[in-house]
Structure 1
Amino acid sequence: MEERGIESVPEAERRGRPRDLFLVWFSSNMSYLPILLGGSLMVLGLNVWQAVAVLLAGNTFWALVGLLAVSGPSTGSPGAVIMRVLFGVRGNRLIGCGLGWLTAVGFEAINLSVTVLAGQALLAETGVDGSPAARGVILVLVAVVTFTISVYGYDAILRMSRAITLLLTLSLLVAGALVAAHARPAADGSAGAALGPLAAALVGLTVVASGPLSWLCGADYSRYLPRTAPGRAVAGWTAAGGWLASVFLGLVGVLAGTVVDMADPLTSMTALMPTWFHPVFLVAVIVGTLANNVLTSYSSGLLLQGAGVRIRRARAVLLDGVLGGGIALYALVAANFLTALNNLLALSVAYMGPIIAVYATDLLLRRNRYDAAELADTRPGALPSTGVGVAGTGAFLTGTAAALLCVNTTLWTGPVSTWLGGADLAAIAGPLVAALVYTALTRAGHTRPDRPRRSIDASGAPHDCAAADAAGTRLVPVVDLKLSAGGLVVIRPARREPTDPPG
C-alpha cells in the first residue's frame, strides 16, 4: 500500500478488518504511562477500591476515541482534515491541528524522557555507568527507531503492533502478577491526603481521563479500512484496545501503590520483582513507550500538515522527532522543566476534551456523512467563507473556559475547583459544555448538519446528478448547511436523491 499523508486514501487502496485496530491501540497503550496514572491515584490518598472505581470511570473516555475512528472509513481522511468541518480551514489550523500538534510533541518528549531513564536503568543492571553521554546515545537511538517506523506509516505500525503485542503482554502480565503478590489491598493512604475522598477521586478522574483524551487521531488509522467497514466494529475494536491496556496497567499501578511510593514508580516497582526480572521489566517499559510514541508521532506529523505547514509527512515526522528529542534532552538535565511540562500536559485536558467532544458531537449529528472531496477543498467559500467555523470555535472556547474554571493543577486552580475543596471537574465540564453549545449553535438554523453536496455510492464514486435526471431518476431539491461569520446557517441549493422520509 502506498503510504498516504494528509490526503484521503482511495477506496481501491484500502484493506483490512476492524479487528486489526485492536492490536494497534492495545500495543501502543501497553506502556509506562497507564502504570504511572494508576499509581498516581494512590498518591492522591485513595484506597484500592476507590482507585479502581476512578480508573474504570476515567477510561470510559476511550469510547470517544472509538467514536472518532468511525469517521475514518467513511472519508478515507485523517482527523486533521475532518476537523475542517468543525472549526473551518483557518480555525482548524490553530485549534484542532495546532493545539493537537503541540500536545502530541509534549507527549513525545515525555515518552522519550521515560525511555531514556529506563534505558539508563537497564545499563546499570549490566554494570554500565549511565553517564550523560550514555543518555544522549540512548535518546538518539530510540528517537531514530521511533520516527523511522512512523515515517513508513500504517503498514509498518500494524506489523510492529503484531510483533510486540505478545512480548509486551507476557512481560507485563508477569510484572502484574509479581506486583499483585506483594499488594496490600486493605492499605489506605487517606490519613495523609491533602484532599477529601470525593475531591481526590475527581482529581484522579481527570488524571486518568488525560490518557484517552490525548488521542485525537482515531480516524488516522481506521481510514485505511474499506468504506464498508461496520462503524460499530471500528469504534468497538479501537476503544477496546486502548481501554483494556489502560485498565490492566492502571490496575498494576494501583496495586503497586499499596506497597511502594508511586511518586517514583520506575525505581520503586523494581523492589517488588526478583533481580532476574528487572531487565525484562525495563525492556517492556522501553518497547511499550516506543510503541506509544510511534502512534503519537505519526499523527502529529499529519496534524502539523493540517496546521498549514507545507511539508511532506516524512519531514514533518522528522521535525517532530528533532523537537521532541530536544525537549526531552533538556528535560533530562532540568528536573524542574520536566515537572512544568507534566503540569502543562495535565492542563491539556481542559482544551483537548472540548475538541474531541465537538468532533464526536458533529459526527453524531450528521450521522457520519462526510464528503472526502469537499473536505479536501480549501478554496474560499468551499468551507466557512471566513475560514473559521463559528459553531465549532464557539463550542471549543466555551468548553475550554468551563474546564479551566473547574481544573485543579499546580499551575492553575479554577474558582469552581477551589469552591469545591479541590475537586477537579475539567474532564466532565469541558466536553459536556462543548457538546451542548455545539449542538445549540448548529441547530440555530432550526435544523441539523445534513449530508454533503455529493452523494456517494457504495463504490465511493460521486453520483452524476445530470445523468440521473436523464435516466429518469427522481431527484429532490435540498440544501447544504454552512455556518457564516454571524453564526447563521447559509443555505445553498443542491439536488440529491431522496433517501430519508420527509419531515
Structure 2
Amino acid sequence: MASTTNSGIEKRSIEMVPDAERHGTPRSQFTLWFGANTQITAIVDGALAVVFGADALWAIIGLLIGNIIGGIVMALHSAQGPQLGLPQMISSRAQFGIIGAIIPLVLVVLMYIGFASTGAVLSGQAVNLIIGAQAPWIGIVIFGALTALVALLGYKYIHVLGRISSATGLLGFLFITYCVLTQVDVPGLISGSSFAFPAFLSAIALSVGWQLTYGPYVADYSRYLPRSTPSSKTFWFTFGGSVIGSQWSMTLGALIGAAAMTESGNLFVENQVAYVGDIVGGGVFAFLIFIVILLGKLTVNTLNAYGAFMCTLTILTSFGNRAAIRRWTRAVFVIGIVTLTVLVALLASADFLANFKNFVLALLMVFTPWSVINLTDYYLISKDRFDIPAFYDRHGRYGTWNWRALVAYAIGVIVQIPFLAQSFYTGPLVAKLGGADISWLVGIVVTFVLYFVLIRNNGVAPKETIYPSLEELERK
C-alpha cells in the first residue's frame, strides 16, 4: 500500500489519503473502539458514578444513556473519515477558518496530554506489577516507550493493536465479569437502589464526556477506508464498538465501586489495578489480567498520543500551505508529545494528579460546542461538500477566521459555566437544580441554535466536493 513504507510505517499525516491508498472494512472500527474502551480507566469512570452518589442500578442506567448519546455524536464524526479522507480536526477549518481552528485545537491537545498522563500512571502500576518493579517511574517510562513506538508506526499498527486488545479485552473482561458476579452481591446492590436525580445526571454526564473525548480524533482511524464505504456502516461499527466496550467496562466499575465502598472511602478508587488483581484471585490470574489492562491502556494512550500529534501538526501547518511533513519530523513530534506526557505523570503527586484530572474533565465543556458546530456544518449546512485544497490555503474559500463560528463557539462555552459542577468550581445555578450538572445539555442547545442561525444563509460550501489531484498531494 502506498500509504506506508515497506516496513508498514505510515507516511501520511494531515493531508488527504488518496483513493489508491484506501483499504480495509468498517468492521475494523468495531475492534479498534471496543479494544479502546475495555480498559481500566473506563472501569474507574463507572466507579466514579457511584462515588458521585448514584446507587449501582441508577448509575448503570445513567451511564448507558450517556454512552448512547455520546456514542451517537462520536460515531457521526467517524462517518466523516471515509468521505473526506482527512484527520478529524482538519475539517474544523471549514467551520472556523484556517487560523480560527487553532482555538479549539489548543484545548484538545491539552486534554490529550492530560488523559495520556493519567493513563500512564495507571499503566505504570500494571507494568510494575507484571515485572515486579517497585519504583513508580519504571513502569511509567516503559509504558511511555511502548506508546511512542506504536504511535510512530501509525494507522496500520494502531488497528492491529486494537484487534489484539479487543481479543484479550473480551477474554479478560469475561473473566472479570465472572469474578464480580460470583464475589459481589449484585442483587443486593441493585435491589437496594434509590433514585437521586442529580447523581443520575452526573452518571450520564460522565459517560457522555467519555465518548465526546474521542470526537476530535475518531475520523483519524476511519479516513483510510475506501470512499465508497457506506456512512451508515462506519457509523454503526464505530458506535457499537465504543458503546458496548465502554458500557461493559463502566457497568463493572459501578458494581465494583459500590461493593468497595467503606466508611473511610472507596478501596477500588484508591488502588484500581491491584484491586482488580485481587478480585480475580491474585497469582497467575492477576498476572494475566494485568497484561489485559496494559494492552487496553496502550491502545487508548496510543490514540491520545497520535491524536495530539495530529492536532499539533494541524496547528503548526495553519501558518503555511503545507499538508505533509517528513517522516523524521513526524517522529520528533510523536516522541516529544509522549515525553511530555511521561514527564507530567512522573512529576504528578497524588493531589496534583487529582486536580489535573478535574482540570481535564472541565475541558470537556469545550468539546460540546465544537462537536455541535462540526456536525451541524457537515450534515446540515455544507452537506458533505467541501473544498479540500482550501483547507491548506489561508487565502482560499474558508479564509483565516470565521467570526460567526467563533462567536457561536465562545457563547456555547460561556453559557455552560453557570451550570457547571466540578470539585474546583460550582456554577450559581447548580444549587437550584439540586446539584445536577446540565452544562453539556445547555451547550448543545445554545450552540446549535446560534450556529445554525448565523451560518445557514452564509455558507461557503461548493456545489460538490473538490478533491486535490494525486500530483498535488505528492508535491505537498
> TM-score, normalised to structure 1's length?
0.83
Q: In the alignment, is residue 288 of structure 1 matched against residue 305 of structure 2?
A: no
* Partner residue, 2:280: 273
Instruction: Tell me the equivalent position of 2:269.
Output: 263
Say if 1:451 and 1:420 are closer, same or farther in 2 by CA, change over 3 A: same
**Paired AA for residue 440 in structure 2:** A
Counterparts of 2:423 and 2:53, CA distance in 1: 17
- Alignment correspondent of 2:96: 87
Q: What residue in structure 1 maps to residue 473 of structure 2?
A: none
* Counterpart AA for 1:368: D
Residues 235 and 129 (structure 1), Cα distance of their counterparts in 2 relative to 1, 3 Å cut: closer
Show the counterpart of 1:165: 166
Q: Is the 8 A contact 1:214 1:349 kept in 2?
A: yes
Residue number in structure 2 paired with 1:250: 250
Amino acid at match of 1:411: F
TM-score (ref. length: structure 2): 0.87
**1:47 touches 1:186 (CA, 8 Å); kept in 2?**
no
* 1:305 Cα offset (Å): 0.6
Q: Relative to structure 1, is the Cα distance of residues 167 and 326 closer, same or farther in structure 2, using a 3 angstrom cutoff? A: same
Identity among equivalent positions (%) equals 25
SS of the aligned residue for 1:149 comes to helix
CA distance in 1, matches of 2:464, 2:63: 43
The CA distance in 2 between the partners of 1:211 and 1:437, in whole Å, is 25
Whole-angstrom distance in 2 between the partners of 1:313 and 1:404? 37
Asked if 1:314 is matched to 2:331, the reply is yes
CA contact (8 A) 1:184 1:258 kept: no
Q: 5+ residue gaps in structure 2? A: 5-9, 261-265, 320-324, 471-476
Distance 1:355 1:456 in 2: 24
Assess if the C-alpha contact under 8 Å between 1:205 and 1:427 holds in 2. Answer: no
The 5 A counterparts of 1:70-469 are: 70-95=79-104, 97-123=105-131, 128=132, 130-131=134-135, 135-187=136-188, 197-215=196-214, 216-260=216-260, 261=266, 262-264=268-270, 265-276=272-283, 277-308=285-316, 312-331=329-348, 334-365=349-380, 366-376=382-392, 378-384=393-399, 387-445=400-458, 449=459, 451-452=461-462, 455=465
Q: C-alpha deviations, 1:442-476, integer Å up to 9, x for none?
A: 1254xxx464266559xx869xxxxxxxxxxxxxx
Cα separation, partners in 2 of 1:197 and 1:395, compared to 1, 3 Å = same
- Give the structure with the higher percent helix: 2
Residue pair 2:125, 2:139 contacting (<8 A) in 1 also: no
- CA contact 2:388–2:466 (8 Å) conserved in 1: no
> Cα gap change, 1:109/1:396 in structure 2, threshold over 3 Å: closer, same or farther?
same
Find the counterpart in structure 1 of residue 19 from structure 2.
11
Map 1:32-47; keep pairs closer than 5 Å: 32-47=40-55
Tell whether the 8 Å contact from 2:43 to 2:250 is kept in structure 1 after alignment.
yes
Quick one: which amino acid aligns to residue 263 of structure 1? V
| Per-residue deviation, residues 141-186 of structure 1 (Å, max 9, x unmatched) | 2111111111111111112222332112101210111012222235
Contact 1:48/1:187 (<8 A) preserved: no
Query: Matched residue pairs, number?
Result: 442
C-alpha distance in structure 1 between counterparts of 2:313 and 2:32, whole Å:
23
Which residue identity is paired with 2:280? M
Q: Give the distance between the partners of 2:220 and 2:314, measured in 1 at CA.
A: 12
Cα drift, residue 90 of structure 1 = 1.0
Residue by residue over 1:210-259, the C-alpha shift from the partner in whole angstroms, topping out at 9 and shown as x without a partner, is 21111111211111011111011111111211111100111111111232
Q: Distance in 2 between matches of 1:455 and 1:118?
A: 47
Structure 1 segments (4+ residues) deviating >4 Å? 186-193, 453-457
TM superposition shift of 1:138 = 2.0
Q: CA RMSD in A?
A: 2.4
1:9–1:77 contact (8 Å) kept in structure 2:
yes
Letter in 2 for 1:293: N
Letter in 2 for 1:72: G
Shift of residue 348, structure 1, vs aligned partner: 1.7
Inter-partner Cα distance in structure 2 for 1:143 and 1:455: 40
2:147 and 2:302 in contact (8 A); partners too:
yes
Structure 2 SS opposite 1:328: helix
Please state how far the C-alpha of 1:381 moved relative to its aligned partner.
Answer: 4.4
Partner amino acid, structure 1, of 2:47: G
Query: Structure 1 190/208 Cα, relative in aligned 2: closer, same or farther at 3 Å?
Result: farther
Displacement, 1:24? 1.4
User: Which shifted more, 182-191 or 37-46?
Assistant: 182-191
Report the Cα distance in structure 2 between the residues aligned to 1:65 and 1:417, rounded to whole angstroms: 27
In structure 1, distance between residues paired with 2:388 and 2:302 = 26
Q: In the aligned structure 2, how far is the partner of 1:225 from the partner of 1:175?
A: 34
1:248-278 CA-partner distances (Å, limit 9, x unpaired) = 1111111112321343233433443212322
Answer whether contact 2:57 2:190 (CA < 8 A) is retained.
Answer: no
Judged with a 3 Å threshold, the aligned counterparts in structure 2 of structure 1 residues 197 and 230 are, in CA distance, closer, same or farther, namely same
CA contact (8 A) 1:142 1:290 kept: yes
Q: What code does the residue aligned with 2:384 have?
A: N
Q: Is the 8 A contact 2:81 2:87 kept in 1?
A: yes
Contact 1:180 1:252 in 2 (8 A): no
- SS for the counterpart of 2:316 is coil
